[in-house]
Structure 1
C-alpha cells in the first residue's frame, strides 16, 4: 500500500432510510466533495436498485384493494440480512478499514445491527433522525411509544404490514403527496425537489427490518463512537423519541453520544444539505486527526 493511501481516510458511507435510496444523499455528497470529503451512498436491500414493487402497483386500471392485499416481494428481508449486506458494502468501500457510517431513519436499525456484526468496520456510527434500537425491542415498538406521539408515518400506510410483509406507501396517488410531504419534507424543501423525491420513493419497505429485535452488546456495538443528529421538526420520528434513543445508546456505549440538533424536518439531506455536510465533515476530520495521531504515537514507540 502506498504511503499516501495510509494517510487517506476511507470514504464516508451514507445510508438511507425506508422508501428512499442512495439518490437522497446526492446534495450532501456534493457538499462533502466540495470540502474534500469522499463519500459513497449505498442502497439497502429492498431499496433503490435492489427494490422490488408489488405487481398491482403497475396494473391499469389501478386496483387499490389488490394493492392493499398483495404480498410484498421484499417480505423476506430482515434487519439481520440487510445488515449483513451493509457490512459487505462498508468493507468494500473502506477496503477493510473502518469508515464513518451515517445512517438515516430506518437505516439506523440496519446500521445498528451491522455495527454489532462488524464493529471493526465502524470508525463512528452517526445517526440522522434515525432509529437506534439498542434496548432489545424491535424498531416497530418504538414507533408506538408515547415519545413518538404525533408521528405521521403509520396513518399514511396503504396496507397492513403484518399481512403483506412491508410498510407500503401509494406514491402513485398525487392526491396523497401533500400528506407524504408533511411526513418527510415539512420544511424548506422547494416544491419541485419534494415532488421529485416523492416520485422516487420505493412503495414497499421490508417489514422484517422493523419487526426483528436487535441485540447489541457493550463489547461490540458499544465499543465504537456514536453521534446523533436530532431533527427538531421531524414528523416521522419525533424529536422526543430521538432523544430517548440517544439516552439508550449512552446506556450501552463506552463513551457519551455526540449530539447535534438541526431545526429541520425528517430529511435534512434535502432541506439543509450544507448544514448536514458540515456536521459530517467535522466528524470525518476528527476521525482523520485521531488516526494520524495514533500512527504517530505508534511510530514513536
Structure 2
C-alpha cells in the first residue's frame, strides 16, 4: 500500500510460483558440470503464455478497470504485448530499466546491439540459451568471484545482506521464449497507452545506452505520443536500493 493505493506484485510466467527448477539446482552434491547442458523446464514458456497470464492478473486485480503496470527487466516485453493487445486494461505502462523492444523486434536482439556493449550479465550466463531454452544464472554456486559479479551486475547499490536474501528468492532460469517473441505495435494499441520509462543510470545489466535506445525507438515510432522519462540514480534493482522513492514516483504516475 502506497499513499492509500494498493500495490500488488505478481509473478511472471516461468518465475516465482510459476517457476520450475532444473534438477542441477537442487541436487546434492552440487555439480558445476551439470549446470550448463540441462534443458530448462521452462523452455516451453513463450511470450504468448506470459502475456496471457499477465492479462488475467490485471483483470483480477483491477476488476476490469485499467491499472498502472510496472515491468522490470525481462518483464518489459510482456507488458508491451499486453498493452498492445488490451490497451483498455493498462492505465499507465511503466518500464523500470526494462526491455522495451520496438515493433516486431525480439528483446533478445538488443543483447547483440552496440548499446549493449559492457553488459555484465552475458558473461554470467551458463549454458547455450538456444539449446537449453533459458537465460540461466548459477545461483547455487559458492564461487565467491561469480557471486560477487552477480552482485555487481544486479545489486551494486544494495546492501549486500539484502541482495543475498533477494538472490535466494530467485530461480535460475528465465524463459528464452519471452525474449524471442515479438509484438507488432500500433497507434491504437501500445501507442495509445500512457508510458513512462524509469531509467537506472548506474545499471550494469541493462545499461544506460540501451535504455536510451528503447526510448528513442519508441519516440520515433509514435512521435505524437512521446514516452515520459524519469531518471533514477540507481543500479538494476531500485525497488531494493530506494524503495520509498520508487514508490512515490510510481504513485505519482496516476
- For Structure 1 versus Structure 2, the TM-score category normalised by the shorter chain is over 0.9
Distance 1:148 1:48 in 2: 27
Q: Is 1:180 aligned with 2:156?
A: no
More helix by share: 1
Larger RCO of the pair (alpha carbons < 8 Å, separation 6+): 2
**Of 100, 104, 119, which residue of structure 2 is paired with 1:151?**
119
Distance 2:206 2:155 in 1: 12
- CA deviations on 1:218-248 (whole Å, 9 max, x unpaired) are 2211011100100000000010110110111
Q: Is 1:54 aligned with 2:22?
A: yes
Distance 1:34 1:71 in 2: 41
Please name the residue that 1:222 is paired with: 191
Please name the residue that 2:81 is paired with: 113
Contact 2:30 2:140 in 1 (8 A): no
More divergent stretch after superposition (56-65 vs 77-86): 56-65
Distance 1:181 1:50 in 2: 24
Contact 1:217 1:252 in 2 (8 A): no
Distance 1:117 1:80 in 2: 11
**Of 232, 244, 251, which residue of structure 2 is paired with 1:274?**
244
- CA deviations on 1:165-210 (whole Å, 9 max, x unpaired) are 01111101132211111110011x1121011011112111100111
Q: Is 1:262 aligned with 2:232?
A: yes
Which segments of structure 1 move beyond 4 Å, counting only runs of 4 or more?
Answer: none
TM superposition shift of 1:148 = 1.6
What stretches of structure 1 of length at least 5 have no aligned partner?
1-32, 285-301
Contact 2:2 2:248 in 1 (8 A): no
- CA deviations on 1:256-276 (whole Å, 9 max, x unpaired) are 111010110011000011111
Cα RMSD (Å) of the superposition? 1.2
Please name the residue that 1:19 is paired with: none
Q: Is 1:208 aligned with 2:155?
A: no
What stretches of structure 2 of length at least 5 have no aligned partner?
none
Q: What is the SS of the residue equivalent to 2:9?
A: strand
Contact 1:237 1:266 in 2 (8 A): yes
Distance 1:62 1:185 in 2: 25
Distance 1:269 1:142 in 2: 24
Contact 2:32 2:141 in 1 (8 A): no
Contact 2:2 2:251 in 1 (8 A): no
Distance 1:252 1:219 in 2: 13
Contact 1:91 1:121 in 2 (8 A): yes
- Aligned residue-pair number: 251
Distance 2:34 2:60 in 1: 40
| TM-score for the superposition, normalised by structure 1 | 0.81
Q: What is the SS of the residue equivalent to 2:43?
A: coil
